[in-house]
Each structure stands twice: as C-alpha cells, then as structure tokens.
Structure 1
Amino acid sequence: MIEYSRGRSEGHFQNWCLVGRVAIRTRVIARMFCASTACTADDASMILCIPFLASDPDQFDPRWIENGWGVEANLFDRDAIMDTDVWQGVRATVRRVARDERPPAFTFHFPVNDCDYLADPVVERRLFEAIDLVADNGLDGLVLHSNRIRSVAQWRQLDVEKERQQYVEYVHALADRVGDASFWIGLENMPITGNDALELDPLLVFPEDFDGLSVGNIGITWDFCHYSYSVYVAELLAAGELVEDADCYPNVRSSGYLDFARLGPMTVHHHFSSFEGVATRAGGVCREGALPTDGVVPESVNEQAFALIAKSERARTVTLEIREHDYHNRQAVYEAARWCEQRLASQ
C-alpha cells in the first residue's frame, strides 16, 4: 500500500448514538457524477481521482479540480485518527476541500494499519466519525479495508473462513445503519500478502471473498494493483516457485487477471496502478504504485483491466494510486492520468 508521506460487544451498533451522532445525515447532494447504487455507464463518464494524504493538506493541488479530476483523501496509520489534533486537522481539510474546491468526485480512505475496528471500540468510534464526515460534507463514499492485519504466524492459528464470516456479520450490521444514506462504503481488496511478507489480511483478496458482502449502500472498492499482485503470486505458487514462502499464504485461489469483472454490479469505486517486485521472507519487497506501462504485469493486461473499469456498471470513479518521489510535486500521477485519458477517449 502506498503511503503519501513518509472483539466488539453484541450491543455496539445498538449504541450508535453513544459513539457518534444519533443518525447519519442523508443529504442528497446534486452533483455531476453518479453516487447512487443505480448508476450506469450511460449516466456519467469515468472520473479520474488523485489521492493525497489528508493529514498533509499541502499535498492537495487545486489544479486537479481545474483539470476535471476528483480527489481521494487518504489516511493509512492509527496515529492519524488517535491524535486528537491530527484528526481535527484531517476533518477540517476534508470540509475545506469539499466546500471551497467542490471536486467533481471526492472519497475518503479510512486508515488500515493497526486500525481493527471490530476489536477496538476506540477505532470503531473514529470509523463512525469518519462516516459522519463523509455524510456531512456530501462526499461520494468511504473506502474501507477489513483491517484484520496479523502476522503470518498468527494467521496460521486462525480459521480464515470463520474470521471472514464474523466480518460479513459486521458489514451487514453496518449496512443496516447507513441504509438511507446518499453515499457508499466501498470494501477494498487487500493483496495476498503484505509488501514485506511479514503481515497480511487474507479476508478480502479474490473476487470470491466478497460473496455476501455487497448489501445496501455497502459495495466494493476494487484495487487492481492489489488484485494483479495476488493473481501473479498465486501463479508463481502454482508453478512451484516461492517454495520457501508457500506457508505464508492462508488464502490462495486460482484466478485470472480479469476475473474481477464478475464484481461489476457490486463495485462502487476503483483503485488503479501496477506493481514491481515480489515480497519474500528473504528480503524481497513488493512496491505498489507503478505506472501501468511499468511493473511486472504487462501493459496489455493493464489495458484490458482498465477497459473493464471504464465500462463499470456502477462505479464512475477510479483513484490513480501512483508512487511519487515527492508528493508535493507530482509527476508520475499525471503521466498515469494521460495514459488513462487516452484510453477513455478511445472507448
């Protein structure tokens, strides 16, 4: 995952008003893009979105809006929501961008690292506050991982399917509480392992893992970089490679690079980029955020995948998660945007 910088109780959801506002606001914002569950390819064109670190507002560039691009405000680490001053600053930045810049699309990415909202009621409270933030400011939606990151050794002691079922129950309870809202919550797929092969979250990796998880306002944020990496590693394992790391993968499925197409009716948002390298315990590292012309996966595969993204049945936004040397002086993401716009123009 690119970083732009540097056991709940049964009654949790019944006590919604104790951890947030009594109800999520359901203002319907009239905008040029589709945020509803009924959006189709004829309703709006695909909007490219540029991500920025929400705790570093200087990364945001108003010229993105002038170019017709949307934005995604990202957080990655627990500190960003646990430090009161930082969290207040994040909310102020989101409010300012929504009010003053009026981007054609605006999404918020809830943090991943050490942010298990199923087990930690403090993190869950921040999640509810983030949902309020999205609702109050008319954002399109909130990107959410399952956030069950554990070490490889810990996952060897757990039943992945049992853990996934627990998460499905949580998601259905959450859907009941946001069912009338005008925004979506997009559950994002994780890569088959972490970038250093030491930690992972295997609950939502392959298309089959999302069965039963699209309900009401809750759909899928499909990250093609994460997925293409997972498919590539699964192919290596099937070919008898990565033998020393074979026990690092509690969730391996045979899947093709374009098999995510079956999730079209459930997908509300996309992330797009390529990757370089493979994570291994011997020191190999996967680097996400490569341009679609670079990386391990051939450009032709990225082109086919982007063509499917552009024709999404429901999702009308795609965030370009492109790695940069300097996130205050973007260059690579503009190259990726040009690549995408050329292909959108030829659709």
Structure 2
Amino acid sequence: MGEKDGEQRKNGDITMTANNVFGFSFYAIYDNQLQSRYKDIFGKVEATIFNREDLMGAAWDSVWTNTRHAVELFGGNNTSFHFPVNNSNIVTDPFVRSRLIETLKRSEELGIPHVVIHANQLYLLEECKHQNLTELRSGFLDCLQEVIYQAGSNVLVCLENLPPIGNLYDDADPVFIFTEDFQEIDIRNVGITWDICHYFNTVYTMHYASNDPVFRDMLPSYQPCDYMDFTRIINKIKHWHFSAFDQMANPLTETICREGVLPVESCVEESMYQKALRLIYEDAVKNDKAIIFEIAEKDYTHRYYVLQMLEWAQKVVKEHSFL
C-alpha cells in the first residue's frame, strides 16, 4: 500500500486509514441510527430495511430520506442499500418487485453502486425437502433479470449467501447457501454479497451434520464445505458482510442462533475469522469493496459493539502490514 493509502488519523481510540473500506449498517427507517460522527470513523455505510412493511407509506419515505442523508455524509460510492429480508419475495409479490425496481432507480440517482438482496424463497424446514432448489434458483434469477431490465439502471444487484437454517431453527431460505449455488450466475449487473457470518454458520452446520444423520436429514441440502471455500468465487464477490455467530440453530435441541456477535464470542475459532478478514481486506482495498460490519447492539443510537468490531479488525490487518 502506498504512502497516501497508509496515511492514518485518530478519532478517540479508533485509528483510521485514508483508504477505509470498513463500514456499518443502520436500520434506514430510523434517522437516529445514523450519527454524523461515524463518518470520521467508518469509510462505508449500508442502509438496511428488514420487512415488507418498510416498503410502504411513511416508512418508505423515511427510508429514502435517511438513505439520502447517508449519501450526504459518506458519498454515494461509499453507500450501499440492503433490500428487505422478510416476506419480500420478488417472484410472487408484484408490489415487492415494483419496489425493487424503484430501489434500483433511486440508488442510481443517488450514486449508490450496490443493492444487496436475499432470494427470499422462504420455506418451513419440513417443506424444504419437497422443493426443487435448482428450479427455485432458476425462477428467481429469471425474475431478477427482468427486474434489472425494467429498472434500466447500472446499479449492481448483489445476491447474499444465507445459512442453511434460519436463526429460529424452523425455516430456511435454501437457494443460495454454498459457493456452488453462485458459480453459474452470469447476468449483467448481478454480483455477490458474501456474508462471512452466514458462511461460517453453513460450514459449522455441515461439519456437525456429517456426524449426525438425523440432523443431516432435516437440512434443506447437505454438502461438505470448508471455511475458506469462498475464495473460489472471490472474483464474483463485489461486497462483503462481516460478523460472527455464537451457536448453531438446531431444531432437535431447539437451539437459536444469534448472529452479529464479535469473533471472540463465536463457536468457531477466532483464528478462522482472522484468516478470512485478512483475505477479504486485501481484496476490498485492492478493488474498492466495502466490508460492512453487521453487529448487534443493545442500543443502536449509542453503538458500542461495532466499535469493538472495528478495533478488532484493525488490529488483525495491522498485524499483517495492511495498515
């Protein structure tokens, strides 16, 4: 990294570089989750909405008011937008489909380069076994291609990988889980958001399932995989999400998965997160990609844990001469 890229500045106890690829997410219906002081700490930001209700009425107006504010603070090129993750199936819901078209148009107007989406092909676990995942994947991609065509924008739509079981252990969005699920995607303006938390969850779950045939039979799909497999498709990955999880969702034990924790709290060894971060940080700096920390907080108006995440990440990359 050159002298300019290595230039550092201080903000409290947080040290930043001029080339700051680390970012945080905020719930875009709430203006008080986007504090202006974070523009001096993070280089990237992601406006996120969660539910179909967020696409309606006053909530939708607030989403774009606050997203515009994020652009004013961080710049359009440093802002991304995350489309809803709950009850928002573009294949079966014309209203949701129209909102995604609108999102792509609005994002282009604001200079936002990436819109993150989930497949939203959600089924109860017991229903997943009766689904043809190849057909579901193909139908979703056909619909997405039509949405992009109708939007007429150059914004990159980034499909996100998901874990094999939902956090509450009763459902799954099983279409895009493994690296193989993404390898054949070749659609203009479609890329990948790779979520390290989700994939580490996937790998941990597959390792567990390899020794428990009853649990394995409950999964929507099963295949051996390893934590760094995502490097196979790194050229297709245009955007990163980073956090950890602390336990595996398991319907047999009724165990709930908690996402958005720090790597030191995870059931996966911290060293694996360190290894992953070194890889994706090098890629992000080289190719100007964002690494968005999706960290759970007790109070999103007074963040604590995402700042701990940033300090952890900076220490990891600094130890390997990236900073």
| Shorter-chain TM-score range | 0.7 to 0.9
Residues 89 and 175 of structure 1: CA distance in aligned 2, closer, same or farther (over 3 Å): closer
Residue in structure 1 matching 2:167, options 185, 188, 195: 195
User: Does residue 282 of structure 2 align to residue 311 of structure 1?
Assistant: yes
- Relative to its length, the structure with more helix (as a share) is 2
User: Does residue 238 of structure 2 align to residue 268 of structure 1?
Assistant: yes
Residues 207 and 45 of structure 1: CA distance in aligned 2, closer, same or farther (over 3 Å): farther
- Which residue identity is paired with 1:293? V
Rounded to whole Å, the distance in 1 between the matches of 2:40 and 2:76 is: 9
- Which residue identity is paired with 2:198? H
Rounded to whole Å, the distance in 2 between the matches of 1:164 and 1:303 is: 32
What corresponds to 1:283 in structure 2?
254
Q: Please give the TM-score of this superposition, normalised by the length of structure 2.
A: 0.87
SS of equivalent residue, structure 1 residue 135: helix
Structural mapping, 1:63-74, within 5 Å: 63-74=37-48
Q: Please give the TM-score of this superposition, normalised by the length of structure 1.
A: 0.81
What corresponds to 1:295 in structure 2?
266
Residues 171 and 153 of structure 1: CA distance in aligned 2, closer, same or farther (over 3 Å): same
Rounded to whole Å, the distance in 2 between the matches of 1:46 and 1:185 is: 22
Rounded to whole Å, the distance in 2 between the matches of 1:117 and 1:320 is: 26
Residue in structure 2 matching 1:205, options 156, 162, 177: 177
User: Does residue 51 of structure 2 align to residue 77 of structure 1?
Assistant: yes
Residue in structure 2 matching 1:147, options 110, 120, 124: 120
Deviations 1:4-57 (A, max 9, x none): xxxxxxxxxxxxxxxxxxxxxxxxxxxx9xxxxxxxxxxx94511111000111
Cα drift, residue 315 of structure 1? 5.6
What corresponds to 1:10 in structure 2?
none
Deviations 1:315-341 (A, max 9, x none): 621100111111111111001111112
Rounded to whole Å, the distance in 2 between the matches of 1:149 and 1:180 is: 27
Deviations 1:42-75 (A, max 9, x none): xx94511111000111011111111242111111
Give the 4+ runs in structure 1 shifted more than 6 A: none
Rounded to whole Å, the distance in 1 between the matches of 2:33 and 2:177 is: 30
Residues 330 and 104 of structure 1: CA distance in aligned 2, closer, same or farther (over 3 Å): farther
Rounded to whole Å, the distance in 2 between the matches of 1:324 and 1:235 is: 29
Residue in structure 1 matching 2:81, options 108, 113, 136: 108
What corresponds to 1:224 in structure 2?
196
Deviations 1:102-136 (A, max 9, x none): 37610110001110011100110111111122111
- Which residue identity is paired with 2:34? F
SS of equivalent residue, structure 2 residue 234: helix
Rounded to whole Å, the distance in 2 between the matches of 1:124 and 1:136 is: 19
Rounded to whole Å, the distance in 2 between the matches of 1:214 and 1:71 is: 27
Q: Is the 8 A contact 1:221 1:271 kept in 2?
A: yes
Deviations 1:74-102 (A, max 9, x none): 11111111x31110111111122213553
**Any unmatched runs of 5+ in structure 2?**
6-17
**Any unmatched runs of 5+ in structure 1?**
1-31, 33-43
Q: Is the 8 A contact 2:76 2:111 kept in 1?
A: no
SS of equivalent residue, structure 1 residue 311: helix
Structural mapping, 1:90-109, within 5 Å: 90-99=63-72, 102=75, 105-109=78-82
Cα drift, residue 174 of structure 1? 4.2
Q: Is the 8 A contact 2:20 2:44 kept in 1?
A: no
Q: Is the 8 A contact 1:178 1:217 kept in 2?
A: no
Residues 174 and 46 of structure 1: CA distance in aligned 2, closer, same or farther (over 3 Å): farther
What corresponds to 1:25 in structure 2?
none
Rounded to whole Å, the distance in 2 between the matches of 1:158 and 1:286 is: 24
Rounded to whole Å, the distance in 1 between the matches of 2:287 and 2:152 is: 17
What corresponds to 1:235 in structure 2?
207
- Which residue identity is paired with 2:71? A
Cα drift, residue 217 of structure 1? 1.9
**Number of equivalences:** 301
Rounded to whole Å, the distance in 2 between the matches of 1:63 and 1:100 is: 9
Rounded to whole Å, the distance in 2 between the matches of 1:127 and 1:112 is: 12
- Which residue identity is paired with 1:342? K
Q: Percent identity?
A: 29
Residues 64 and 100 of structure 1: CA distance in aligned 2, closer, same or farther (over 3 Å): closer
Q: Is the 8 A contact 2:248 2:257 kept in 1?
A: yes
